Structure 1
Amino acid sequence: MASDSLSSLPITRLKGVGPAAAERLAKLGLHNLEDLLFHLPFRYEDRTRITPIGGLRPETGVVIEGQVMAADVIFGRRRSLLCKVADGTGMVTLRFYHFSAAQKNNLERGRTIRVYGEPRPGSAGLEFYHPEYQLDYADSGLPPLEKALTPVYPTTDGVSQKTLRNLTGQALHYLQAHPPQELIPAQLLDQSGLPSLTQALSKLHNPNPDDPVNLLLEGKHPAVKRLVMEEMVAHQLGMLQKRAGQKAFHAPRLSGQTLFEKLQASLPFALTGAQQRVIGELMGDMAKPHPMLRLVQGDVGSGKTLVAAAAALAAIESGYQVALMAPTELLAEQHRDNFRHWLAPLGIEVHWLAGSLGIKARRETNAALADGSARIVVGTHALFQEAVQFHRLGLTIIDEQHRFGVQQRLSLREKGRFDTANGSQVPHQLTLT
């Protein structure tokens, strides 16, 4: 971003936003003009054209314009104000359950009224229930129709649609003066037929009447695709930056393969081609002096756990410990049972650490992890508790990583971190999903 970027301009820069309004807007995550412009509509209303009353269809948002024929308070099961409006093609009823005497008096017979809402079947035919409306005035008449589709934004208590539209309109003026930096090269945008980021944001907040609303809402409009591409590029750049940061750390070289070869020979089935390929990639990564950060994705029953076992055995054979963490005890128990079935014949004990573990058993497991006699442990959130210390943690395996917070995942990695003459060393990380 250039100087005075949208993210550096607080939302209080806009007219009508004082401390109280800023506090309400903060509940929506809107702190600066960039936040506001990326607070996108979730639907649109067409207030650009007038629909004849005779052509109304139920539950379709429309603008009608006609003359007030009558406005009367009706007493029934519930008191209501009924206003009859006609335009020469038909007549429709406006119904208000909450109204004032001044409102009734303003709805004088013969006045021109413009109404926006969704008509629904009622006792008197099609009715608008508590619609938005405007009345003409002798000196000015009705204001012009909207020139663009009207956006409808996610909102919260104390922040109306009118307020969000007004503030977004102001922010769009700043957008022209402070266009955001383009992450995507112009040549790629031209090849893709996509607009600039500034054009995309302007379009989404102010679409033309002839813009296909269904494409906007379904994510198929070029303006929406442009933001999707922006998000994907930003995510990819963030991942590359994170990966580059990982290179600043050292990791143990884990290259043992004999144990897994023994396990593989005992299996009553052959590994699939995909399993062999993924295991080969993991072995190549863990043999390097920089921390592996791999995600293995696969359906239930695709063999991800066996892939994780191959990585674990490489670490164990290289003299390091392994920690496998799952978000629930049920899932952790499944991993524990699988690993015990596979590793027990190899003379490797799989330790267990979870919230339900008794105090004595927990102390014994913690002691075994600290002195290195526990070579692999399976557990839940209990693994990153302060009392848990590892002797030489070389690999962490995290299942369903999205169920853990970033700090939780980092805290497990930090348990295997120690300083060397060449800098900090951290464990390799494998995540399953």
Structure 2
Amino acid sequence: MVEILRREYRDGCRNRSNLERVLESFRLRSETLPPGEGRTLTRAVRPLAGYPDLSAGERQHRLVQVGRDLVRLASPSGAEPTPGRTAKAARPPAGVATLNLRADVQFLKGIGPRLGGLLGNLGIKTVGDLLTHFPRRWEDRTRIKPIARVKHEALETVRGRLGSFREKKPRPGLTILQAPLSDRSGTLLLTWFNQKNVLKNLRPGMEVTVYGKVERTGFGIQMTSPEFDPPQGPSLTTGRIVPVYPLTGRLTQAWLRKLQFQVVPTYAPLASEALPADLLKREGMPARADALVEYHWPTSFPAHEIARRRLAFEELFLLQVQVALRRQELQQEPRAHFYKALDELLEPFLELMPFPPTGAQRRVFSEILKDLTLQHAMNRLLQGDVGSGKTMVAAFAAFVAIRNGFQAALMAPTEILAEQHFKKLQELLAPAGIRVGRLQGSMTRKAKSHTYELLTNHELDLVVGTHALIQEGVEFANLGLVVVDEQHKFGVMQRTVLRQKGRNPDLLVMTATPIPRTLALTLYGELEVSRLDEMPPGRQPIRSESVSFAKRQQVYEEIRQEVRQGRQAYIVCPLIDENEALEATAAVEEARILGTKVFPEFSVGLLHGRMKAIEKEEVMETFRKGEHHILISTTVIEVGVDVPNATIMLVQDADRFGLAQLHQLRGRVGRGSHASRCLFMGNATSPQTQRRLAAIARLSDGFEVAEEDLQIRGPGDYYGVRQAGFPELKVADLLRDIDLVELARSAARELLAQDPELARPEHRVLRQHFENLEAKVAETVH
């Protein structure tokens, strides 16, 4: 099967081997194996379901993923079998638990305040935190090779008899220990630098297993700084699948591994079982304690995969129950604001619009009107690609609320975006007699106080602002609608605080960052989802191209020609070391060079994150008016900046940006009726960077970009899982575990259909889990 997948990959993923038929045959053969093995193999190939309907990029990604999984399951070493012996590792032995899982980690034997502090830097505060401090990868050290067969520069496990030690001190502060290790096939030389403690554990004549990187030279075979287990101790680093943990500062892998070898089997049995017993039984999953031990310290790769899926399912199930509870809670909270004459409000709003709405906008207008007739508040997520007309939808929702006597608030993540929304909404709604105001952190205390007063007295209908909207002192007379733009930049806390400024107001959250389906199901299941999938009339497609630094002068000439024709240009500088001060310095220097040496005949503006809000707005206003021909900017223009006359963008060092961010930046051009171009300049130094730059040049649809980004980066904390108010996914992989997402979703719905309040005794642990989570959120909000 692996060979068929390799051939399909080499053939360009064109499905000429009729993969669906091959998979069906593979499934039938898997059914003849023992139940556990057959199920594991069938699950491994499941991501290839519907292969003919997948995009080329998705086919490629899934072929690699399934191929890796099958290779790993077929051979414990995750590679082709090689001559040698395979060690069989036992589970680590459990000790006697003397603490509970909430106890401070420093009270474990041998830890104390100093080491406890270092563990705290890893987020490990309690004994229970150690159980979920999972390895970031595992190394297979079970296959013991004959010394004669070890490969140059490979990491190998060998076993043999130690010869005599030789100690050398070539200079002060450097001690070299060397000893030969021999088996029936040959000898290699073990070398340690400044590790005299080796002599405490090893003696000439001992049988010992070592693991390390092999070097074959003209003088023989050598292994430098090999890892080994003392002959009298347990097998932690050799002869088994060994965990590799995330570390910090002064903690070593060997120390943390030893601690986890003792703690995990001893304290895992104290971990509460959140999954209902009948669910575990139905899905054939192991108990949480067994899964934790097997996941940290695998006895085999198939057993490890079973443990991984069980823990991943638990994470996804808890997420889905949380989402379903939130949705249930929102729908049970009665509507506080009632609307009338909704059908009569659409036409007056359409008369205010500068152009006819797209079919997609009309559809979303209808969805919003329908939401406002329900017995519970609106909770809608609006996804729309860059430039798809989300602001008009927000304006419509605000118009409807205001015409029914309520106030509306729109919160944006940056002052530039808030200012732009304010101008657009004022221009659109002021002719209808709607009073639009703004509230931003950079405003003077006096200006803020005046706005507070207007809001309290209902002398403002719509306020547009940043985080300043959720500060103390902001009170509304009758807040009926909350709109949150670029919602992934805000956590659930900020949304909650803004909603608390009114009595259960309707909520519309908007994003230009498209959310792949698995993430939408997982993270935003409590929200109804609308999608703007048409561009407003007159918008020209953006031609994108990936170029090398060698073409820099040619690109500058293209910008010059575009500006001479009366258009304007953006040049975006990279983010340097996540350091805003350095980034600003780089942008200032770049603006100086481009303004004086490259484009001396044009007016060149500069925009960066260290500028004050009023300075940023002045620069943007000058650019909007056409007084600056070229704008040098850092990524502060990523979101929402709208200058229709800007038709060409150069993104320098594009290899430093993520795919989603490149797409957001590209959205700053193509906003008028002129043809636009975006040039991504960078050196693709890795296959991942090559794929990213090729993808951004090829793809224009935001949802395709999002799917590709998810495949390239992997889910990790894509789209801010923690930002959305959910716990981090430590085990589940939203690409690999699509089947588990669906399974968890249906299991969560089934559970809540039977016990919506989680009141049954068997759901006590589950209820406690969510009560604790709620308390944490409430504590953060207040």
TM-score, with structure 2 as normaliser? 0.46
Map of 2:275 onto structure 1: 183
Alignment pair present for 1:426 and 2:512: no
Write the letter of the residue equivalent to 2:338: R
Alignment partner for residue 71 of structure 1, among 150, 156, 166? 166
Q: State the secondary structure of the residue aligned to 1:237.
A: helix
Alignment pair present for 1:151 and 2:243: yes
> For residues 363-421 of structure 1, what are the alpha-carbon distances to aligned partners after superposition, in whole Å with 9 as ceiling and x for unaligned?
433332222121111111111222322221111111233333444333222222xxxxx
Alignment partner for residue 381 of structure 1, among 458, 467, 478? 467
Q: State the secondary structure of the residue aligned to 2:143.
A: coil
> How many Å separate the matches in 1 of 2:458 and 2:209?
79
Q: State the secondary structure of the residue aligned to 2:473.
A: coil
Alignment partner for residue 43 of structure 1, among 121, 124, 137? 137
Map of 2:314 onto structure 1: 230
The 3 A distance-change label for structure 1 pair 77 and 53 is farther
Q: How does 1:10-409 map to 2 (within 5 A)?
A: 16=110, 22-66=116-160, 67-68=162-163, 71-73=166-168, 75=170, 79=174, 81=176, 83-87=178-182, 88-100=184-196, 112-119=207-214, 127-134=222-229, 148-157=240-249, 159-173=251-265, 177-178=269-270, 180-183=272-275, 186=278, 190=282, 195-211=286-302, 221-246=305-330, 247-248=332-333, 250-255=335-340, 256=342, 258-265=344-351, 266-273=353-360, 275-409=361-495
> How many Å separate the matches in 1 of 2:236 and 2:415?
63
Q: State the secondary structure of the residue aligned to 2:459.
A: coil
> How many Å separate the matches in 1 of 2:315 and 2:392?
34
CA apart distance, 1:103: 5.0
When structure 1 is superposed on structure 2, of 407-416 and 193-202 the one drifting more is: 193-202
RMSD: 3.9
The 3 A distance-change label for structure 1 pair 106 and 403 is closer
Write the letter of the residue equivalent to 1:205: H
> For residues 298-320 of structure 1, what are the alpha-carbon distances to aligned partners after superposition, in whole Å with 9 as ceiling and x for unaligned?
33233332222221111111111
When structure 1 is superposed on structure 2, of 244-253 and 169-178 the one drifting more is: 169-178
Q: When you count helix as a share of all residues, which structure comes out higher?
A: 2
Map of 2:723 onto structure 1: none
- Kindly indicate whether the alpha-carbon contact (under 8 Å) linking 2:214 and 2:223 is maintained by their aligned counterparts in 1: yes
When structure 1 is superposed on structure 2, of 177-186 and 290-299 the one drifting more is: 177-186
CA apart distance, 1:21: 5.0
Structure 2: 5+ residue runs without aligned partners? 1-98, 512-782
> How many Å separate the matches in 1 of 2:236 and 2:441?
66
When structure 1 is superposed on structure 2, of 326-335 and 354-363 the one drifting more is: 354-363
Q: State the secondary structure of the residue aligned to 1:119.
A: strand
> For residues 122-165 of structure 1, what are the alpha-carbon distances to aligned partners after superposition, in whole Å with 9 as ceiling and x for unaligned?
896764343323566xxx69979956412122233565445544
Map of 1:422 onto structure 2: none
- Kindly indicate whether the alpha-carbon contact (under 8 Å) linking 2:229 and 2:237 is maintained by their aligned counterparts in 1: no
The 3 A distance-change label for structure 1 pair 222 and 306 is farther
When structure 1 is superposed on structure 2, of 232-241 and 175-184 the one drifting more is: 175-184
> How many Å separate the matches in 2 of 1:33 and 1:43?
22
The 3 A distance-change label for structure 1 pair 410 and 125 is farther
CA apart distance, 1:352: 1.7
Map of 1:420 onto structure 2: none
CA apart distance, 1:430: 1.8
The 3 A distance-change label for structure 1 pair 94 and 426 is same
> How many Å separate the matches in 2 of 1:77 and 1:33?
42
Q: State the secondary structure of the residue aligned to 1:75.
A: strand
Map of 2:35 onto structure 1: none
> How many Å separate the matches in 1 of 2:487 and 2:395?
17
CA apart distance, 1:210: 4.8
> How many Å separate the matches in 1 of 2:103 and 2:199?
44
The 3 A distance-change label for structure 1 pair 103 and 179 is closer
TM-score, with structure 1 as normaliser? 0.77
CA apart distance, 1:115: 2.1
Identity %: 36
CA apart distance, 1:228: 2.6
CA apart distance, 1:116: 2.0
| Bigger radius of gyration among the two | 1
Write the letter of the residue equivalent to 1:311: A
When structure 1 is superposed on structure 2, of 115-124 and 234-243 the one drifting more is: 115-124
> How many Å separate the matches in 1 of 2:133 and 2:396?
46
Map of 2:592 onto structure 1: none
> For residues 58-82 of structure 1, what are the alpha-carbon distances to aligned partners after superposition, in whole Å with 9 as ceiling and x for unaligned?
5543322333365342638994515
- Kindly indicate whether the alpha-carbon contact (under 8 Å) linking 1:49 and 1:145 is maintained by their aligned counterparts in 2: no
- Kindly indicate whether the alpha-carbon contact (under 8 Å) linking 1:395 and 1:429 is maintained by their aligned counterparts in 2: yes
The 3 A distance-change label for structure 1 pair 54 and 284 is same
> How many Å separate the matches in 2 of 1:76 and 1:12?
40
Write the letter of the residue equivalent to 2:320: Q
> How many Å separate the matches in 2 of 1:78 and 1:170?
34
CA apart distance, 1:112: 4.7
Q: State the secondary structure of the residue aligned to 2:421.
A: helix
- Kindly indicate whether the alpha-carbon contact (under 8 Å) linking 1:325 and 1:381 is maintained by their aligned counterparts in 2: yes
- Kindly indicate whether the alpha-carbon contact (under 8 Å) linking 1:11 and 1:32 is maintained by their aligned counterparts in 2: yes
> How many Å separate the matches in 2 of 1:182 and 1:223?
15
- Kindly indicate whether the alpha-carbon contact (under 8 Å) linking 1:294 and 1:430 is maintained by their aligned counterparts in 2: yes
> How many Å separate the matches in 1 of 2:221 and 2:239?
27
Q: State the secondary structure of the residue aligned to 1:397.
A: strand
> For residues 229-269 of structure 1, what are the alpha-carbon distances to aligned partners after superposition, in whole Å with 9 as ceiling and x for unaligned?
22222112222323344434642124545444333344424
Write the letter of the residue equivalent to 1:353: L
Map of 2:589 onto structure 1: none
Map of 1:419 onto structure 2: none
> How many Å separate the matches in 2 of 1:385 and 1:177?
45
Q: How many residues align?
A: 409
Q: State the secondary structure of the residue aligned to 2:180.
A: strand
- Kindly indicate whether the alpha-carbon contact (under 8 Å) linking 1:73 and 1:80 is maintained by their aligned counterparts in 2: yes
The 3 A distance-change label for structure 1 pair 209 and 76 is farther
The 3 A distance-change label for structure 1 pair 241 and 79 is same
> How many Å separate the matches in 2 of 1:134 and 1:230?
34
When structure 1 is superposed on structure 2, of 102-111 and 197-206 the one drifting more is: 102-111
